[in-house]
Each structure stands twice: as C-alpha cells, then as structure tokens.
C-alpha cells in the first residue's frame, strides 16, 4: 500500500506530505484546487516522462517520493533480478533538477525509468494496468478472463513452451532459406571445388615453385658467380683461405707476448673454418646447378594453372586457395546435412505443437467455464451502478496457436437491451466505460492481488442512487485493497475511511496547493457543501451525517 506521498516543488505545490489509510481514501476539493496535480506528481514515481516546466520554484529541484508498505514475496523476484536491497518498505523517488535532468531511485539506489516503471506496476494501478483505454484492448480482456480462471502457473508454463516453439519455427525458416540458397549454388560450388581438388594444391606450393623458377631461370648467372667465389677462396694464385691461414699462424706466434692475442687467433681460426665450410657448400651447390629446359616448362605450366586459380578467386597465396577449397567442401557437406537437420527439427516442432494443442484446449476450457459467471456478475453490477439495461457478453473464438493459447477473446457490449452486441470500443461511451471498468475491476480484485488502486473521477456523469452504489462497490473493493479515489460525488465521499480535502492558499505572491485530512465534523461539512453549495442547509447537513454514518 502507498503509505506516504511527499511532493516538493511540483506545479503549484511547494511542499506536501500525505499519509494514506489502508482502505478507502477519498480526495475531494473544488475544481482547479489541484487534485489532478497530485496524480501528476504520483505518475512521476511510476515512470512517466518528466517536464522541467512543472517546477514550482525554478531555482531548485523537484522531488517526488512515495513510501510503500509491501509484502516481500510480492516484489522479491524483482529486487533479486535487479540486485536491489529489499526492506519492509519500498521508497520510490524521482528528482527533476532546475536544468531539467531527471533521476530515479528505488530505496536510494539509482535506477533507470524502465526499472522504476516495472516495479511501480506491482505497487500501484494508476491508469496503466486496468484503465478504461485498456478495457478496449483484446489483450486486457483476455487477462481479465485469465485472472478469473486463476490458471496463471499453467498459462506461464504454456507461454514459455510456446516461445520455444516459435524459436524453433524461426530456426526452421532460416534452415529452409539456407537450403534453398545452398541448392541454388551447389552446382557451381561443386564445379569450383572439383577444379581445386584436381589442382591438388600443397601448402606453400606456389611460393616454393616461384622460388625454384627464379633459381632455374638465373642458373647460368648463379653458376658463374659461385664458380668465381669458389676460385677466389681456394684456387686463386693466392687463395683467400690460404692467406687467412697464414695470417692466423702469424698471429698465433704473438700469443706469448700479449694476453688478448690468443683469443683473436682463436677467432681467426674460427673464421678460417667457416670460410672453408662455405667454400665446400658453394662447390656442392655449383655442381648440382644446371639449366633444365623440361623442368622449366613444367614449372611454368604449374604456375600458370595456379595463377589462373588465384585470379578466379581473387587471392594471392596458396593458403587462401586452400581455405576456399575447405569452405566449398564445408558448404557442400552442409547441403547434405541440412536435410537431416530439417527432418529432425520438423519432428521436434510437430511434437511440441501437439503438446501445445493439448494445453491450449485445457486453457480454453478453463476460460470458457468463467464466461457465464463473469457475464452475470458484471451485468448485475452494471444494474447496481445505474446501467440496468446494459449487458456485457464475452465472445471466445478459436484462433491459431499464439503465446496465450488458441483463443481470441473480445468483450461485446449492449447498452440498451437490444440484443445487438458490438465490440466495446465501438459502442460504449466514456461514462459507460468508466463504470464498466469499475465493475470488472471489482471482480478481478477478488481473484488476483492487485496493487493500490487509484480512481480519478470514475464516477463522473452519475448521481443519486447510481453514485451511492458506486460508493458501495468502492467500499467493498477497499476491504481487501487500498483504494484512493478522487471524486465530486458526496455519496462516494461518505464511504471513505479517510477523507482528504484539497485546497489552494496564497503564500506571499504565489498560490500553493495544500491537502489536509478531515475530521469527522469537517467531513460532514465538506459533504454537505458537495450536496448543497458553499452554505449548506440544515437538511444538507443532516443528509451528510447520514452518508457518513452509513
């Protein structure tokens, strides 16, 4: 329940605190006194968009705070999901800075508006979950019947299974598209793959062949240079190796005269041995190198084949051609596997659909069982609130499987006992919708744990006995729920457990809205004024006493 509402610097409210009672709270006041402003402020902590133009004093921030007493199990899942601290009371706060920046808090922890709105739906019903506009929507109408059928756990399990069914259907559609696309390309892909397989590519082959071609095409130049180097190293009149050997020997004779000479001599010996090894490698390489025209022709043919494949596939390396070959092979293998996957998926979908059909039939039966009692109870309440000729009828038709079963549900309405029922959205007036909503809400409230219920002048357009009956229904509804009602009807105000009066007052040069909880005598006076004007007669006062006493 909403225990306390604190409003600071909002519209024409400087500072206001209201402590609400647990049952029927009635708010009255002159037109324009600010009753709707209270709901505007309350809507901010329920996640509505903020308008910086509502600041009473433009130099400081606006703060709206609602303190709720809750049963922990009612909101525990939400707090765990969003990692918030949960106490015996929940505080929703909204701040709007002078610059227009908005911030939201749950128990002093910053949250976003989506989180604030989601939690508020569990705490307050303020023209969101069961309002007159929602009454015209088929989704709401189905929710009403489901609330009365009390099969939420079964429906939730069905819905989860249906979402899995829908996911598998999307997967099936994607696989079918993949198969169609793959089949269109498979012939060409097979041609490309066969071409690459026939080429029998080896990793790094192209680069190796190019290097071999380069060496073979320059074999004479290479052979001449190697011969010259070998000759200078070993066979010249004064070979490099012989000179190096002599120099090393001369250096060795100095080893006894300087301590660093032996190391230098050893290094020169190493150089001699390295050059000797190089000379042997050059001789081997030179002996094995000669131009081979047939080999050169083979290399050119193979490289030409590989270059064509490179150009066709727009790549540069052998590894890239090998990767394309593997991709083509995988694509063709996938085509072969797709049919098996499709068959398995279709079987899974068919099995799940059969289960959903069975569950949907049970859900439909449970809904169907509620329709006649629901119609009878609503029609009785409509007569009670001054609409004796009005009738409601629920049209339940079978529809394709959807997330909530296989039913299409629509509320039909006949305002004049004409037996010509039509959808509510087409025939019900605003006043009729308000009273119809009250009747439906009072029935739903007995079946589900609705949050704090707020009615904004739901009794507009009625008076006398009808207004009295609305008050009786409100009173009954408030036995199990906190109800906050803004009204102009004295018959309803007389039923209040707590009666709040909204009024304006000059403070300096500004008009400010205030609210006070009326005493018993003040209630009688206020109701008498609602009955007989600013200066109520003795009869109006007596009538007011009777209304309060009932």
Query: Mean pLDDT lowest for which of 203-207, 227-231, 402-406, 489-493?
Result: 203-207
Mean pLDDT of 45-52: 82
pLDDT in tens, 182-202: 777 666 777 777 777 777 777
Average pLDDT over residues 440-448: 78
CA 444, CA 378: separation in Å to the nearest integer? Answer: 11
**Span 382-421, pLDDT tens digits:** 988 888 899 999 999 999 999 999 999 999 999 888 888 9
pLDDT tens by residue, 357-380: 999 999 999 999 999 999 999 999
- Every domain of the chain with CATH number 3.40.50.300 lies at 1-129+450-518
Q: Give 127 or 460, the one with higher predicted confidence.
A: 460
3-state secondary structure of 425: helix
pLDDT, greater one: 213 or 367: 367
Tell me the pLDDT band of 129, cut-offs 50, 70 and 90. Answer: very low
Phi, psi (deg, nearest 5) at residue 44: -65, -40
Can you tell me the distance from the alpha carbon of 474 to that of 289, in angstroms, rounded to the nearest whole number? 109
Mean pLDDT of 91-102: 89
- In the three-class reduction of DSSP (H, G, I as helix; E, B as strand; rest coil), residue 220 is classed as helix
Which CATH superfamily includes the segment(s) 1-129+450-518? Answer: P-loop containing nucleotide triphosphate hydrolases (3.40.50.300)
DSSP 50-110: P-GGGBSSTTS-EEEEEEEE--HHHHHHHHHHTT----SEEEEEEEE-TTS-EEEEETTEE
The residue-averaged pLDDT of 195-224 equals: 71
Residue with tokens 């409230």: 445
Residue 127 has a pLDDT of: 45
Q: What is the pLDDT of residue 336?
A: 73
**DSSP H or E stretch at residue 347:** helix 318-384
* CA contacts within 13 A on the Cβ side of 108: 4
147: Cβ contacts below 8 Å, ≥ 6 apart: 444, 447, 448
Min mean pLDDT across 48-52, 499-503, 511-515 is at: 48-52
The CA-atom distances, in angstroms, between 159 and each of 77, 103, 405, 406, 459 are: 19, 35, 8, 11, 37
Reported as type and span, the H/E element at residue 146 is helix 138-149
Quote the percentage of the chain above a pLDDT of 90. 26
29-33 contacts at long range (C-beta below 8 A, 24 or more positions apart): 29/501, 29/502, 29/503, 30/502, 30/503, 32/504, 33/502, 33/503, 33/504, 33/513
Please tell me the predicted confidence (pLDDT) of residue 400.
94
Q: Which of 28-37, 322-331, 383-392, 400-409 has the highest mean pLDDT?
A: 400-409
Mean pLDDT of all residues belonging to the chain: 84
Most confident of 142-146, 233-237, 310-314, 460-464: 142-146
Position 130 confidence tier, pLDDT thresholds 50, 70, 90 = very low
Residues 541 and 508: their CA atoms lie apart, in Å, by 35
Largest CA distance in the chain: 148
Is residue 470 within 8 Å of 440, Cβ to Cβ? no
pLDDT attached to residue 219? 64
Enumerate helices (H) and strands (E) in the chain, giving the number of each: 18, 15
**Which neighbouring-strand residues pair with 452?**
124
Q: How far apart are CA 127 and CA 130, in angstroms?
A: 6
Distance, in Å, from the CA atom of 389 to the CA atom of 287, rounded to the nearest integer, reads 118
What percentage of the chain carries pLDDT values higher than 70?
Answer: 92
* pLDDT score of 62 more than 80: yes
Give the closest residue to 24 by CA, choosing from 504, 487, 436: 487
85 pLDDT higher than 80:
yes
Query: Which of 30, 5, 10 has the alpha carbon at shortest distance from 20?
Result: 5
Lowest mean pLDDT among 145-154, 211-220, 519-528: 211-220
């Amino acid at each position: 329940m909403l225990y306390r509402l604190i409003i600071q610097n909002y519209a024409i409210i400087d500072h206001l605190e209201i402590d609400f009672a647990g049952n029927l709270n009635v708010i009255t006041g002159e037109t324009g006194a600010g009753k709707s402003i209270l709901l505007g402020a309350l809507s901010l902590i329920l996640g509505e968009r903020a308008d910086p133009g509502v600041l009473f004093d433009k130099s400081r921030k606006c703060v709206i705070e609602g303190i709720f007493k809750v049963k922990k199990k009612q909101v525990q899942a939400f707090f765990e999901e969003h990692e918030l601290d949960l106490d015996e009371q929940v505080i929703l706060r909204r701040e709007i800075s002078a610059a227009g920046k908005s911030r939201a808090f749950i128990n002093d922890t910053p949250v976003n508006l989506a989180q604030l709105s989601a939690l508020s739906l569990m705490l307050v019903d303020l023209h969101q979950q069961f309002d007159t506009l929602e009454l015209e929507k088929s989704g709401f109408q189905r929710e009403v019947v489901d609330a009365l059928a009390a099969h939420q756990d079964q429906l939730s399990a069905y819905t989860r299974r249906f979402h899995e069914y829908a996911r598998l259907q999307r997967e099936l559609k994607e696989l079918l598209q993949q198969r169609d696309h793959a089949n269109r390309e498979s012939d060409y892909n097979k041609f490309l793959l066969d071409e690459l397989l026939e080429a029998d590519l080896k990793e790094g082959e192209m680069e190796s062949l190019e290097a071999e071609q380069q060496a073979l095409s320059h074999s004479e130049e290479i052979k001449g240079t190697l011969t010259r180097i070998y000759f200078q190293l070993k066979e010249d009149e004064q070979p490099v190796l012989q000179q190096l050997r002599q120099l090393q020997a001369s250096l060795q004779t100095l080893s006894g005269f300087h301590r660093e000479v032996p190391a230098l001599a050893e290094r020169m010996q190493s150089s001699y041995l390295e050059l000797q090894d190089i000379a042997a490698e050059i001789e081997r390489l030179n002996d094995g190198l000669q131009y081979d025209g047939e080999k050169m022709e083979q290399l050119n043919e193979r490289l030409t084949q590989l270059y064509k494949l490179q150009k066709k596939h727009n790549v540069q390396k052998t590894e890239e051609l090998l990767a394309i070959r593997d991709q083509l092979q995988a694509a063709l293998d996938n085509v072969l596997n797709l049919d098996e996957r499709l068959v398995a998926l279709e079987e899974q979908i068919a099995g799940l659909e059969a289960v959903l059909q069975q569950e949907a039939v049970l859900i439909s039966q449970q809904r169907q069982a509620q329709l006649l009692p629901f119609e009878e109870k609503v029609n009785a309440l409509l007569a009670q609130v001054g609409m004796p000729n009005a009738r409601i009828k629920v049209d339940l038709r079978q529809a394709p499987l959807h997330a909530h079963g296989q039913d299409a549900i629509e509320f039909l309405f006949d305002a004049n006992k004409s037996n010509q029922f039509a959808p509510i959205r087409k025939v019900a007036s605003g006043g009729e919708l308000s009273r119809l909503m009250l009747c439906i809400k009072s029935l739903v409230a007995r079946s589900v744990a609705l949050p704090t219920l707020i009615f904004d002048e739901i009794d507009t357009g009625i008076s006398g006995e009808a207004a009295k009956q609305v008050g009786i229904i409100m009173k009954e509804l408030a036995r199990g729920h906190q109800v906050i009602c803004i009204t102009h009807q004295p018959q309803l105000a007389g039923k209040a457990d707590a009666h709040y009066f909204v009024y304006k007052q000059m403070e300096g040069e500004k008009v400010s809205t205030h609210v006070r909880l009326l005493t018993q005598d003040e209630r009688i006076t206020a109701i008498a004024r609602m009955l007989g004007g600013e200066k109520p007669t003795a009869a109006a006062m007596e009538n007011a006493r009777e209304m309060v006493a009932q």
